[in-house]
Structures are given as C-alpha cells and as structure tokens.
Amino acid sequence: MFNPIKYFRNRRVGVALGSGGSKGLSHISVLEFLKAEGIRVDMIAGSSIGSVIGALYSIGAMESFRDEILSMDWREYIKLVDPVFPRTGLVKGEKIRDYLARFIPEKTKIEDLPIPLSIVATDFYTGKPVVFRSGNVLDAIRASISIPGVFTPVRWGESILIDGGVSNPLPVDVVKRMGAGLTVAVNLHPSLPRKRLSRATREKMEQVHEADANKITYSHGTDSSSSEQKTWMWQLTAFFEKRRIKPHPEKNEINIFTVIAQSIDILEYMNTQMILHAYKPDVTIEPDLIGMPTLDFTNAARALAEGREACRRVRGQIIRKIKFWL
C-alpha cells in the first residue's frame, strides 16, 4: 500500500544489540532475519557481545563467524582462554582479540566500517558509558567485553574501561543519537534468571523479603577422564558457568561464581528496564535464553535458533513498525 507519509519521516533503521555473553549469538539470527525481510540496517550500537556481532555484521564477516562458532567444541574454546594471576580478572582476553582478528582485520577503524557502528564500554571510575565512534575496532571491542571479575579491564588514557553492559546493556539511546528514526532493540535480559535458584533457596529469600518489606523503600560429547578436562582452564569455562546454575540440592550453596554472574544479571536487567522506559524502541526482540550460561558458547545452535524464534514472535510488529515505513 502506498504510504506518502513515510517520505516525511526519518526512515533510517538503527539496531541496538544488547549485552549478555553467549546469549548474544542470537543477535546473528536477528540481523539475518531483518535482511531476509528486506530491511536494511543503517546503523548499529552494540554493548559487550553486541559490539562483537555488530562489528562482524558491519564488515561482512558475520556469516563466516557463525559457521565457525557452530563447528567449535569446548576444547577449541579453551584455547581462547589466557589465564592470568587474578588481581583484576581471571582472563587476559588477548587470545579472544586475536581470534576476532581473523574476521576483523587488525587495523580496521570504527569510522571506516561500511555500516556505522557505536561500541559501548564503561568507565570504571565514573560508571558512565564510554561510546566509541572512532578508533581501532578490536581495541574498542576488547574494552566492551570486559566482564567484571572475568576479563581484566582495559586501560584507556588515565581511566580504566570495563564491560559496556555495566552502564548501558541495551544502547537504544546511542543508536537514536546516531540518527536512527526506526529502532530495533535486542534485549537479552527480559527477566531475572531466578531458575538458577533451588526452590528451597527461593522460599528462604521470599521469607526474608516479606520480613523486611516494611524496612525497605525501592526507588524504582567428551571424555570425562581426560587430563586436559581437569585443568583449571576447563574449570574456568565448565565449572564457572555450568555448575554455578546448579546449587547443591541439599545444602543450597551459592558459590562465588554464582554471586558474580547473578549480580551482573541483576544489574543489567535493572538498567535495561530503565533504558526501555526512557528510550522506547519501535520493536523489542527478546530471545528466551534466561537459563543459558553467560560463557557457554558451545550452545551456539540454541542461541541462533531462539534468535530466529524471537523474531518470528514479533514479525507482525517488525512489518507494521519498521518495514511499513521503508
């Protein structure tokens, strides 16, 4: 149907890709879905894993990255871990940067990318977002993915940068400031991962909340015998992620990794809700990956499938609110 009004509005499409570790592989399916629908993405803002997928898409390497990720197993992921003495983080992150350099040439500048991209990190001292619109792509990504307690922070001038998800887990505001008139946001934190807690633990927490309610005011397939599998690098990936979501059935223990992961999830969930309230996108896509561990990239097929399903759930909105105006 002919729509003359569309010629009087900003029809540039911007996509905000949120933080969420391995859940962010679903961003790939979202971008592929938009392309299949004939929707050209004019600009991207990405935080943490969103910056990785955004850069890969902009430079045209997303499909090859997707295919390789699908073919990798846990042994190959372990090779990307470069452990350091845990003063500011457990992993140096240089091997991941080198791996991404296979898809994004080392000297690529953000300002030279075919599709405009903003990469969001967080200033450790001020807590404010740091938005990269220029400079080396790989350096900016390395800062943006610096999950507190996992990756060592990145020095930036006189400051230090950590994961972009800490300050802005869903950069809708950033993509709007870039000039987008139609916005699509991929939210990887639609709710809190309460399923990680056992029933007994949840009941105890609920009892505590009820008791303190009047005091608080809220303002808003491998060989398990392998010696390699028993190395601490394997523990960093398997134990850190997979075991942390399974508290002991009797003791209901919460270990340090559970505390770190759940705290980050809570922080990003709360910040995401405020962002969506203040900068409402035209379409919000929310993959159902709450129970997926943040660093479990061996589950790539699941993340990709749920990304496609999440798009199908809101396809009507995408047609009415985005495609209709193009």
**Whether residue 98 lies in the annotated active site:** no
Length of the chain: 326
Catalytic residue chosen out of the listed positions 19, 26, 47, 48: 48
Rounded to whole angstroms, the Cα distance separating 209 from 264 reads 20
Task: Examine the residue annotation and report whether 212 is marked as an active-site residue of this protein.
Answer: no
Q: What angle do CA 322, 168, 134 make, to 5 degrees?
A: 80
Task: State whether residue 299 is helix, strand or coil.
Answer: helix
Query: According to DSSP H, which parts of 72-147 are helical?
Result: 74-78, 94-100, 137-144
Q: How far apart are CA 112 and CA 115, in angstroms?
A: 9
From 42, 163, 265, 282, active-site residue: 163
Pairing of strands 129-132, 117-123: antiparallel
Query: What residue spans of 225-326 are helical by DSSP H?
Result: 232-234, 240-241, 256-278, 300-313, 315-321
- Residues marked as catalytic: 48, 163
